Structure 1
Amino acid sequence: MAKADALTPPLFTPLPRPHNADGAPRKVGVEIELGGLDEGEVARICAEVLGGRAEQGDGTLWTVHDTRIGKIEVYLDTSLRKATRSKLRDLALDLGREVIPVEIVTQPLDMAELATLHDLTGALRHAGALGSGAGWVFGFGLHLNIEIASDRNADILRPMLAYALIEDWLRHAEPIDDSRRLLPFTDPYPTNFVRALLGLGMDASLREMIAVYLEHTPSRNRGLDMLPIFAHLAPETVEDAVSESVSSRPAFHFRLPDSRIDEPGWSIAQEWQRWVLVERVAADERLLTRLGAAWLDDHGMVTFSRASWAERCGALLHQFGHDLPLAEHR
């Protein structure tokens, strides 16, 4: 039996708006990348900790059925796994295991279900799972897919704008691992995009939002990837503009946090605090307005460094009572 952490699971801070437009609790899908274990081992540990049964599909794909939090998928995170099965494909997958992460993907979970992942990450750590900092080429991440509060324009725009304005400070206050900074998977938003977003104002239409996003950052490789939401709301527009595959879903795809699964004291609940802060800023129109004006004042026509804005942004957040609790694992 895989050993899990005996400590009480950390609490997940509720969102400022915990319910969706139908009055149901907003849910969060979780994707955890890790190394050090193969996908079969990971699937079996998921079944041991959360119940259910692990079954192998094609090659590296495993599915854990009937767990306490629903179905879980486990696989090597590479497009090769979707290729037609052949000896060449399987050889390439085996050769890439040293650097290709195993990914755990859950169904959308409520706050209580999220807490059950604490035992799972503890069991995986005890079994030898490796996280972002275990190697220069790892760059493993924790991705959170947070259900939108509604499809109203403001409920899409304001969290995106809040994140864009505080992103530099988030990266400064809680730095991501060097391996992830050097790899392109979580690049920061371009300053030209933030400037254009501010130019739209807080009452922009969905069409205007999508047009600005696709003009300046039509990529999945951002700390906050908005393409899944836009593909859900305007599928043809996104399909025409983006060459890569985009899974449409009404959820913010928050890619910034590291997967530090091998570090004692680390928890998904700590990384969750980053997103809670984004939504708190989005809900505070006075703060959002102040941040926007200060960002424009700080950047001018050309941006040479993001450091000064990170410091100024942090001071404003502190002034409005929106500090980010420092994680013990840092």
Structure 2
Amino acid sequence: MKTPPSSFHPLPVPDGPDGRARRVGVEIEFTGLSERAAALCLSQVLGGTVEEEDAHAFLLRGSRLGDLGVELDIRHVHPHRPDHPLPWLRPHARWLGVALRPFVPRELVTGPLDPRALPELDAVIAPLRQAGAGGRGASALGSLGLHFNIVPATLEAATVLAVLRAFLLLEARLRTQCLTSPAARWHAPPPYPAVYTARVLSPDYRPDLRELCDDYVRSNPTRHRALDLLPLFLHLFPERVVPRISGKAKPRAVLHYRLPVAHVGAPGWSLAPDWNRWVEVEQLAADPERLAAALCDGSA
């Protein structure tokens, strides 16, 4: 049964400091359906014009949800992009993608959306599945990601710290609720280190934004966290972060919530439960008295 639109809970702080609605970008991975076929399916549902970026990446321009992308989720098969890791492979990108398609998921990537548009995004999952898209969270070969990239209410240290603290207090329960299979638990980003968690949850921890960045990167020089703050700190302080990390990370002024739980192939699957779990984090972060009490007793 399809999840009704009303099941998407609103953010407790819906607008940014400029008075405009906060935005969220969504990434959904799936298997089975080709990148081209998925983009054409989306155009039939949402309108817009399909453009080919390369043999394994397609753009849907001007849809009702703005511009969307569908691509094979591996950099090696996109020869014209500046972050291609092995330039000598560029001439072979088309055939490499064909060979990897049975093993590498496709990814649907939205632009920044008003959260009120999430029900319409949710509604495209059934047509994709009917067209041949599949996937049920995770398998022995890897996970299928569902990622939310949420614009913070503000970029002030107090706001970012409150969200991080709320997430740390709720993380164990969130993992239990959303990682419901052994494969999902295996592929999930590991929890934050215990020493770092204890430091951040100490009521005496009052960093400014640079100190918060330095402490985070020192303990988490990786994007493999369920709440990945590297994109945010790369955006704010590239000179402090770039020399201290390795691997793929893009600067973005967002809170990157990473889950290995996309189930496009499961009838009735919805984005709503995982979105609402994120909203629960923000609700705690936006309630200073409740958050302070949780810090004192160690639970939320």
Farther-moved stretch of structure 1 (211-220 vs 194-203): 194-203
Report the alpha carbon displacement of residue 6 of structure 1 after superposing the two structures with TM. Answer: 7.9
Report the alpha carbon displacement of residue 40 of structure 1 after superposing the two structures with TM. Answer: 0.9
User: What letter is aligned with 1:30?
Assistant: V
Taking structure 1 as reference, are residues 292 and 93 closer, same or farther at Cα in structure 2, changes over 3 Å only?
A: same
* C-alpha distance in 2 between matches for 1:79 and 1:61: 10
Give the structure 2 partner of residue 28 of structure 1. 24
User: What letter is aligned with 2:52?
Assistant: Q
In structure 2, stretches of 5+ residues that fail to align are 79-83
Query: Sequence identity, in percent?
Result: 36
Give the structure 1 partner of residue 106 of structure 2. 102
* C-alpha distance in 1 between matches for 2:42 and 2:6: 19
Give the structure 2 partner of residue 54 of structure 1. 50
TM-score, normalised to structure 1's length? 0.82
Are 1:283 and 2:286 an aligned pair? yes
- In the alignment, which of 231, 235, 240 is matched to residue 238 of structure 2? 235
Summarize deviations over 1:142-166 as a string: whole Å, max 9, x none. Answer: 1000111011111111101111121
* C-alpha distance in 1 between matches for 2:193 and 2:62: 42
Give the structure 2 partner of residue 111 of structure 1. 115
Taking structure 1 as reference, are residues 7 and 176 closer, same or farther at Cα in structure 2, changes over 3 Å only?
A: closer
Give the structure 2 partner of residue 13 of structure 1. 9
- In the alignment, which of 259, 265, 270 is matched to residue 267 of structure 1? 270
SS in 2 for 1:281: helix
Summarize deviations over 1:92-131 as a string: whole Å, max 9, x none. Answer: 3222212211001111001232221122111112222222
- In the alignment, which of 31, 34, 39 is matched to residue 35 of structure 2? 39
Give the structure 2 partner of residue 207 of structure 1. 210
Farther-moved stretch of structure 1 (250-259 vs 280-289): 280-289
SS in 1 for 2:101: helix
TM-score, normalised to structure 2's length? 0.90
Say how many residue pairs are matched. 292
SS in 2 for 1:15: coil
Are 1:140 and 2:144 an aligned pair? yes
Farther-moved stretch of structure 1 (161-170 vs 286-295): 286-295
CA root-mean-square deviation:
2.1
* C-alpha distance in 2 between matches for 1:65 and 1:166: 38
Summarize deviations over 1:155-187 as a string: whole Å, max 9, x none. Answer: 11110111112111111133254333223x622
User: What letter is aligned with 2:271?
Assistant: I
Taking structure 1 as reference, are residues 176 and 80 closer, same or farther at Cα in structure 2, changes over 3 Å only?
A: farther
SS in 2 for 1:57: strand
User: What letter is aligned with 2:172?
Assistant: D
Which of 1 and 2 has higher RCO (CA within 8 Å, sep 6+)? 2
Give the structure 1 partner of residue 81 of structure 2. none
